Amino acid sequence: MSVRVLLVDDHAVMRAGFRMILDAEDDLVVVGEAGNGAEAVAAASALRPDVICMDVQMPGMDGLEATRRIVADPDSTAAVVVVTTFDRDDYLFQALQAGASGFLLKNAGPEKLVTAVRVAAAGDGLLAPAVTKRVIERFAASAHPDEPALAEPSPAAALLTEREAEVLRLLADARSNAEIAAALYIGEATVKTHVSNVLQKLGARDRVAAVVYAHRHGLT
């Protein structure tokens, strides 16, 4: 089945360009567009896309607030990839807080946009290793300034097997599936199974959320 994509950007030309790129792929289909955050929330509810490409700066409700509302909707299973012109840590930081599964610059190129959508649809987070380590660690430590990172693992962490805990620690070290497989001397298919189990047991939407969880609960 095709990955259903919702495009959110206040510039119609940008949406048209993204649509042309994504609709050219056999496994991707753009099911709707929105010009601001409020329209995005309504479209996400009505269309139930698999992935939402979300701009940040838009009139009215911005993309960060729209992401928060969409992720908070218990009926939504959409992964949000923030696509912005601005290479700013504060936007990336806030996007992760809001629940985004990825962060991409608009000038990254067509291939990276297509990859971002596919990666998000597969339940993986799209962040470069250097960005993952720098920003997620910051998020884990100070997402809530009055709430310090926890020193003890939560009860959910106790559900993990020893091998799943190893996989989570390697995820938190920004390792790819291939790198995890090499480190643990197992196949990539086995790694994917372990990652899926980790997400399910932690109640995490995707790898990014699992990494944040690991940092905040002292599992790294």
At 10-29, the pLDDT tens digits run 999 999 999 999 999 999 99
Task: Quote the percentage of the chain above a pLDDT of 90.
Answer: 49
Structure tokens at 199: 């997400």
pLDDT the model gives residue 146: 43
Mean pLDDT of all residues in 158-175:
87
Higher-confidence position of 170 and 42: 42
Identify the DSSP state of 202.
Answer: H
Split at pLDDT 50, 70, 90, the class of 87 is confident
The residue among 116, 139, 118 whose CA lies nearest residue 127 is 116
Give percent of the chain with pLDDT exceeding 70. Answer: 85
Predicted local confidence at residue 3, as pLDDT:
96
Alpha-carbon distance values, 14 to 7, 53, 85, 120, 136 (Å): 9, 11, 11, 20, 29
pLDDT digits (tens, 9 = 90+) for 89-131: 778 778 887 888 888 888 888 998 998 899 888 876 666 555 5
The C-alpha angle 99, 51, 15, rounded to 5 degrees, equals 110
Output the pLDDT for position 127: 61
- More confident call, 52 vs 170: 52
**Could you tell me where the beta strands, DSSP code E, fall in the chain?**
3-8, 28-34, 51-54, 79-84, 102-105
Comparing CA positions, the residue from 123, 1, 121, 107 lying closest to residue 52 is 121
Q: Which residue has the higher pLDDT, 53 or 90?
A: 53
